[in-house]
């Protein structure tokens, strides 16, 4: 068993973590009508920051990323949005595939615009693995 207090980050430590509350799944329509799923972890305190977290390839937003979102929400009072890229998780599209990289860029632009319209403060993109690309 990994000691999560002394060991560096690992997926084993996430698997041992206590489950967190998952907010209700929301959807946004992309430029071509593709339905994109996201989970809004909204701070109960006034915040000046919003983070959109993008998962790695072959993953989805609830593949351990919910623990990061929960921590940002409750310990740092940051609104955090977990986006399922098209073809991943609960978003529409051929599973595990995005036919065109420009679709991904436009999808991300859609969620950035929506967050800017609905929430005050700066918007930061955060990605893991290929989601950082």
Q: What integer pLDDT is reported at residue 5 of this predicted model?
A: 58
Question: Shortest CA distance to 65 belongs to which of 88, 48, 96?
Answer: 88
Least Cα distance to 55 among 127, 5, 133 occurs for: 127
- Look at residue 125 and tell me if it is in a domain: yes
Phi first, then psi: give them for residue 49, nearest 5 degrees.
-140, 145
Q: Work out the percent of the chain whose per-residue pLDDT is above 90.
A: 60
pLDDT at position 16 is 74
Task: Write the pLDDT tens digit of every residue in 25-68.
Answer: 999 999 999 999 999 999 999 888 999 999 988 888 988 889 99
Q: How many domains does the chain have?
A: 1
The answer as to whether 13 is a domain residue is: no
Residues 83, 60: Cα–Cα separation, whole Å: 8
Binning pLDDT at 50, 70 and 90, where does residue 130 land? Answer: confident
What is the pLDDT at residue 1?
Answer: 45
C-alpha dihedral over 93, 40, 109, 121, to 10 degrees?
A: 180
**Residue 29 domain flag:** yes
Kindly indicate the confidence band of residue 7, based on its pLDDT and cuts at 50, 70 and 90: low
Domain of 112, CATH number, reads 3.40.50.1820
How high is the pLDDT of residue 123?
Answer: 96
Q: Is the pLDDT of residue 6 over 80?
A: no
Computed over its alpha carbons, how large is the radius of gyration of the chain?
15
16: in domain: no
Residue 1 included in any domain:
no
Q: Which domain holds residue 103?
A: 23-132
Residue 30: inside a domain: yes
Q: What is the pTM of this model?
A: 0.86
Residue 64 located in a structural domain? yes
């Amino acid at each position: 068993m990994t000691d999560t207090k002394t060991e560096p980050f690992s997926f084993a430590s996430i698997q041992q973590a206590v489950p967190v509350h998952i907010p209700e799944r929301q959807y946004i329509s992309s430029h071509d009508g593709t339905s994109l799923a996201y989970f809004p972890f909204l701070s109960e305190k006034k915040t000046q920051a919003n983070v959109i977290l993008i998962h790695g390839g072959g993953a989805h937003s609830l593949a351990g990323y919910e623990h990061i979102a929960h921590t940002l929400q409750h310990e740092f009072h940051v609104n955090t949005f977990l986006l399922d890229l098209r073809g991943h998780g609960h978003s529409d599209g051929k599973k595990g595939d995005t036919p065109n990289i420009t679709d991904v860029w436009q999808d991300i632009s859609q969620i950035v615009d929506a967050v800017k319209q609905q929430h005050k403060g700066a918007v930061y993109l955060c990605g893991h693995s290929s989601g950082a690309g």
